[in-house]
Amino acid sequence: MKYSNPALLNDFYQITMASGYFQAGISEKTACFQLFFRKAPFSASFSLACGLENAIEYINSFCFQDDDIEYLSLLVDPAGNRLFEENMLFGLTQC
């Protein structure tokens, strides 16, 4: 079954970084992230980049559904504290 909204399929690190930006008061600043790989596979001297159109489409349509935000609001650290502030979650781009 294909998940209709893949926002939660990104790296959890990115969501925690968004939370950190929010807590630091810099959530409105532009952040830059990169898509890359470290080494060409199979000892090759070159690589082909395929699927860039899909990656760009994913980024341009990136948003969170109500269920995604509800799930994130339930996450807690080992001490039982919420991982994400409510204000940060409701500031996420919603579908």
Which tens digits make up the pLDDT trace of 18-73? 899 999 999 889 888 777 777 887 888 888 878 888 888 888 888 999 989 999 99
Largest Cα span, the chain: 49
- The more confident residue out of 93 and 33 is 93
Nearest in space to 20 (alpha carbons), one of 9, 10, 31: 31
> What CA–CA distance (Å, rounded) separates 64 from 44?
38
Distance of CA 72 to the CA centre of its chain: 12
Residue 37's φ and ψ, nearest 5 degrees, are: -130, 160
Query: Structure pTM?
Result: 0.72
Assign 3-state DSSP to the chain and report helix, strand, coil percentages, each to 5: 45, 5, 50
